[in-house]
């Protein structure tokens, strides 16, 4: 081949390379743009007006249809309401058995269909329903203790994550409960696995239920009407099973990884946490040494990593999402509770 021909071919190759879109060269790399639009939480309140921004323990939170943020402060036993920009609006609830009181609240969830606020309390044996102003509408007794996550199908039906009860060899991991009839209408996701369900979430999209069972690194889909499993999509993450160990009179559990699905706009995403611990058990808290966060987006039949998720100066926990916003909190291992509201642009 002549030297001139080689130069011509090289030039053509460079032109093709320059004119080729970046996405076609690196089709697997996705990078969304997230910005922090609000930071809520301070270590110590110095004056009266700062007190609403000091939390005792953030256990659960949710967005309403306007983007306002409802935060369940577990130890202070109240719900604090903030704007999407993090400005305090009001608080309601207090400890007790009265109409505007709750005991040992676990979770808060807003039914977007009727704009009512639901608080799971009494150690998971009852749900209290409040209107937008924080007035009690009614109390809903539950047929069995509910520890896990729940979300609403419509005005009167909720979907919740269940775990195996003592003595059960097989059970259904997901159940539909009718608030009006006060009964379980349907059960699906049969399993004999004793899942670690504390972090298991469910997402309802187009009559399909999505979940990452236990601490497994897979995403599963079920038909909401029939309960039939539709698909299982593995995450490109090595799975490390949780383990329980003893040190003297102390029994501890270490969870090395877990995944949580959520909606961002119309897209299904999966929030993945991986953490490491010291070799030796240290104290009651047994805090992780590190926590790594990854974000995946469902693209067709596979999950692609989205590399645009920011880093934080605390151990992040996913709390809720609404439209293009994500609510992140610090973990129980961090020095003081705080929140970040992220917006995807």
CB 224 within 8 A of CB 208: yes
Tokens representing 17? 């390379």
Residue (of 198, 156, 200) closest to 178 by Cα position: 156
Answer whether residue 2 shows pLDDT above 80.
no
Answer whether residue 248 shows pLDDT above 80.
no
**Residue 173, number of CB atoms within 10 A of its CB:** 24
Q: How far apart are CA 235 and CA 215, in angstroms?
A: 12
Answer whether residue 323 shows pLDDT above 60.
yes
Q: How far is CA 159 from CA 65, 191, 227, in A?
A: 20, 17, 12
Query: Distance of alpha carbon 28 from its chain centroid, rounded?
Result: 25
Q: What is the pLDDT of residue 153?
A: 96
Q: What is the pLDDT of residue 341?
A: 97
pTM beyond cutoff 0.85: yes
Q: What is the pLDDT of residues 69-86, one digit of tens each?
A: 999 998 889 999 999 999
Question: Band of the pLDDT at 29, cuts 50, 70, 90?
Answer: low
Mean of all residue pLDDT scores within the chain: 88
Answer whether residue 28 shows pLDDT above 80.
no
CB 242 within 8 A of CB 215: yes
CB 238 within 8 A of CB 216: no
Q: Which residues contact 119 (CB under 8 A, 6 or more apart)?
A: 72, 79, 93, 102, 105, 107, 108, 127, 128, 130
Answer whether residue 109 shows pLDDT above 60.
yes
Q: What is the pLDDT of residue 14?
A: 36
Residue (of 289, 277, 216) closest to 247 by Cα position: 277
Residue (of 289, 269, 267) closest to 278 by Cα position: 289
Tokens representing 63? 């967005």
Answer whether residue 240 shows pLDDT above 80.
yes
Answer whether residue 21 shows pLDDT above 70.
no
Question: Band of the pLDDT at 243, cuts 50, 70, 90?
Answer: confident
Q: How far is CA 345 from CA 87, 263, 322, 324, 342, in A?
A: 22, 15, 14, 8, 10
Answer whether residue 4 shows pLDDT above 50.
no
Concatenating the DSSP letter of every residue in 254-290 gives: E--EEEEEEEETTEEEEEEEEEE--SS--SSS---SE
Q: What is the pLDDT of residue 284?
A: 61
Q: How far apart are CA 233 and CA 224, in angstroms?
A: 18
Give the β-pairing of 101-102 and 94-95.
Answer: parallel
CB 117 within 8 A of CB 108: yes
Answer whether residue 261 shows pLDDT above 90.
yes
Question: Band of the pLDDT at 11, cuts 50, 70, 90?
Answer: very low
> Could you give the percent of the chain with pLDDT greater than 90?
71
What integer is the mean pLDDT of 262-289?
87
Q: What is the pLDDT of residue 5?
A: 43
CB 123 within 8 A of CB 76: no
Report residue 68: phi and psi, to 5°.
-65, 155
Q: What is the pLDDT of residue 126?
A: 93
Name the H helices within the chain: 3-19, 22-25
3-state secondary structure of 12: helix
Q: How far is CA 275 from CA 193, 253, 291, 295, in A?
A: 23, 13, 4, 15
Question: Band of the pLDDT at 176, cuts 50, 70, 90?
Answer: very high
Question: Band of the pLDDT at 235, cuts 50, 70, 90?
Answer: very high
What integer is the mean pLDDT of 124-147?
91
Residue (of 339, 291, 293) closest to 72 by Cα position: 339
Q: What is the pLDDT of residue 7?
A: 40
């Amino acid at each position: 081949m002549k030297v001139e021909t080689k130069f011509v071919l090289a030039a053509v190759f460079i032109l093709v390379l320059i004119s080729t879109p970046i996405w076609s060269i690196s089709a697997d790399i996705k990078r969304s743009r997230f910005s922090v639009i609000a930071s809520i939480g301070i270590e110590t309140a110095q004056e009266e007006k700062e007190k609403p921004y000091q939390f005792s323990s953030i256990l659960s939170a949710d967005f309403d249809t306007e983007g306002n943020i409802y935060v369940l402060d577990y130890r202070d036993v109240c719900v604090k309401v903030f704007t999407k920009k993090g400005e305090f609006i009001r608080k309601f609830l207090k400890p007790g058995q009265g109409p505007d009181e709750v005991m040992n609240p676990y979770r808060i969830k807003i039914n977007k269909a009727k704009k009512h606020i639901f608080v799971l309390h009494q150690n998971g044996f009852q749900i209290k329903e409040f209107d937008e102003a924080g007035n009690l509408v009614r109390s809903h007794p539950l047929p069995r203790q509910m520890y896990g996550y729940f979300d609403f199908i419509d005005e009167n039906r909720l979907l919740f994550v269940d775990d195996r009860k003592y003595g059960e060899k097989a059970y259904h991991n997901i159940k539909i409960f009718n608030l009006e009839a006060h009964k379980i209408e349907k059960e699906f996701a049969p399993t004999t696995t004793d899942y670690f369900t504390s972090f298991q979430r469910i997402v309802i999209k187009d009559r399909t239920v999505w979940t990452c069972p236990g601490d497994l690194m897979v995403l599963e889909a079920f038909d909401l009407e029939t309960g039939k499993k539709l698909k299982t999509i593995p995450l490109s993450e090595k799975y490390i099973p949780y383990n329980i160990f003893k040190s003297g009179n102390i029994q501890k559990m270490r969870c090395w990884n877990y995944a949580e699905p959520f909606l961002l706009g119309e897209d299904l995403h999966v929030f993945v946490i991986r953490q490491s611990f010291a070799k030796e058990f240290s104290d009651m808290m047994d805090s992780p040494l590190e926590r790594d966060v990854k974000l995946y987006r469902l693209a067709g039949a596979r999950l692609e990593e989205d590399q645009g998720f920011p880093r934080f100066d605390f151990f992040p926990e996913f709390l809720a999402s609404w439209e293009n916003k994500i609510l992140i909190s610090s973990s129980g291992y961090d020095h003081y509770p705080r929140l970040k509201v992220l917006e995807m642009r």
